Amino acid sequence: MPLIAPSRRLRRTPFSDGVEASGVGGYTVYNHMLLPVFFESPEADYHHLKKHVQVWDVACERQVELRGPDATRLMQTLTPRDLRGMLPGQCLYVPIVDETGGMLNDPVAVKLSEDRYWISIADSDLLLWVKGIANAYRFEVLVDEPDISPLAIQGPKADELAARVFGDDIRSLRFFRFGIFSFEGQDVVIARSGYSKQGGFEIYVEGTEWGMPIWNALFEAGKDLNVRAGCPSAAERIEGGLLSYGNDMTRENTPHECGLGKFCNTQTAIGCMGRDALLRVAKDGPIRQIRPIEIKGRVPVCDRAWPIMAKGQKIGQITSTAWSPDFDCTVSIGMVRMTHWDPGTALSIQTPEGTVAGVVKDDFWQNAS
């Protein structure tokens, strides 16, 4: 595939110097920013993530900030998840949908105070949608993109590394909670969260001044922990059932089709966008849904949807694949019609290199092991 041409439109991050010094092997583009895709190799990075600790430049997880008296009203308008019990200091996974119930994004909402939120977004221009809703409803709220760049610490040694840099109190931080920690006299928001199943933290670095000092401090403190630069691993995320917006779900899918119905409190999330459409889906149930699908042997990278066929009819599509060294198969995610989504169902998958066999799993690999 041709190289990505650098330009001002393709934004660097506060950590790009460190990423490049660490020998990044490739990039993709995510929210108009550079996102590393491997360093030593995808397989070597995968094994290292599961055994040690990595520092990830995920500044591409941009924030949409809501600030003002109507911030909570706007936040609830955006999502079918009932936010009435959300407290400052808490993070929640919030499907965001349009008027038809179609997925626009699957971000994490961070409640900084009663009148201030960050929405940590996946790859889509959600800022423009949120601004439009705020103006249409005449909400008294400022919607903007703050200069916040997340830096992740992921892996089984993440607690030890974070404690060495930010203090032992960080060990008691609960999952999907955040706290204010000090770095060289500077307050930093850190959440126990991240885009892997290995555990860790996301540091919300404000501005560009502190990016490389925090990066360097983590690498200095983690030398004996075998800390390395890393990035989200396709194989590890698919094994763990972590979905990718734009790959596994788009605006054509409802949260229920994506297995996210448990995050939709449509009866009580009064005023949320797409509520009527989602009430119908909740009542009748989806006719297709995301499933883990195992493919024996190796297949090409899935850079487009692959049809799943049965008796000459398309009954679904594969949206993400990766070779799993630990499970010795190709792990994949697919959207499958209800007639073929039961565990153990054999599937015929059309790849660019020919037809391969797959089977529906009863759960994602890391959850079942």
3-state DSSP assignment of residue 41: coil
Contact 165, 183 (CB under 8 A): yes
- pLDDT band of residue 312 (cuts 50, 70, 90) is confident
Q: What percent of the chain has pLDDT over 70?
A: 99
Q: Is the pLDDT of residue 369 over 90?
A: no
Average pLDDT over residues 37-42: 97
Q: Where does CATH 3.30.70.1400 sit in the chain?
A: 63-144
Rounded to the nearest integer, the mean pLDDT of the chain is 96
Q: Is the pLDDT of residue 195 over 90?
A: yes
In whole angstroms, give the CA distance from residue 49 to residue 69.
42
- pLDDT band of residue 207 (cuts 50, 70, 90) is very high
pLDDT of residue 235: 98
pLDDT of residue 360: 98
CA distance readout (Å), 290 to 65, 303, 309, 335, 357: 30, 18, 16, 4, 18
3-state DSSP assignment of residue 129: helix
pLDDT tens track for 257-301? 999 999 999 888 888 999 999 999 989 999 999 999 999 999 999
Best CA proximity match to 42, nearest among 351, 301, 319:
301
Contact 7, 34 (CB under 8 A): no
pLDDT tens track for 146-192? 999 999 999 999 999 999 999 999 999 999 999 999 999 999 999 99
pLDDT of residue 6: 82
Q: Is the pLDDT of residue 368 over 90?
A: no
pLDDT of residue 329: 97
Q: Where does CATH 3.30.1360.120 sit in the chain?
A: 16-61+147-237
pLDDT of residue 1: 61
pLDDT of residue 4: 85
pLDDT of residue 63: 98
CATH code given to domain 63-144: 3.30.70.1400
CATH class of 16-61+147-237: alpha beta
Q: Is the pLDDT of residue 85 over 90?
A: yes
Tell me which DSSP letter residue 155 carries. S
In whole angstroms, give the CA distance from residue 94 to residue 104.
11
pLDDT tens track for 98-146? 999 999 999 999 999 999 999 999 999 999 999 999 999 999 999 999 9
